[in-house]
Amino acid sequence: MDKKDIKFSENLFWDVEESELDMDDHKEFIVERVLDYGFLNDWIIIKEYYSLEGVATIAKNIRSLMPNSLSFITLVTNTNKQDYRCYKLAQFIPQHWNF
């Protein structure tokens, strides 16, 4: 896949200039945004570019993922939540009581 052909959804990078993003230098940022806010086409792009195992490896080092994004990536890649940095960090944050 050629970097010039990659076109993500417009809603992903509202706070940065998309033309300045590099798929190799900013891979954690891109994967995080796609997992949290992306559409199916965005997922297909990162899966083809980084491979499924590559996306899992990148996602394991991300500090923060939404719970549904973490569940999705662990299901698709058949990995454990405990292997992900965002899951480990979330365990240290005290939860409020549920009423």
Contact at 8 Å (CB) between 38 and 68? Answer: no
Structure tokens at 40: 């199916």
The upper half-sphere exposure of residue 31, i.e. CA atoms within 13 Å in the direction of its Cβ, equals 28
| Domains in the chain: boundaries | 3-91
**pLDDT for residue 99:** 55
What's the pLDDT tens digit per position in 33-56? Answer: 999 999 999 999 999 999 999 999
Q: Would you say residue 25 has pLDDT above 60?
A: yes
pTM: 0.86
- 3-state DSSP of the chain: CCHHHCCCCCCCCCCCCHHHCCCCCCHHHHHHHHHHHCCHHHHHHHHHHHCHHHHHHHHHCCCCCCHHHHHHHHHHHCCCHHHCHHHHHHHCCCCCCCC
What's the pLDDT tens digit per position in 68-77? Answer: 999 999 999 9
Torsion angle (degrees, nearest 10) of CA 33, 37, 38, 40: 140
* Cα separation, 66 vs 12, whole angstroms: 15
**pLDDT for residue 3:** 64
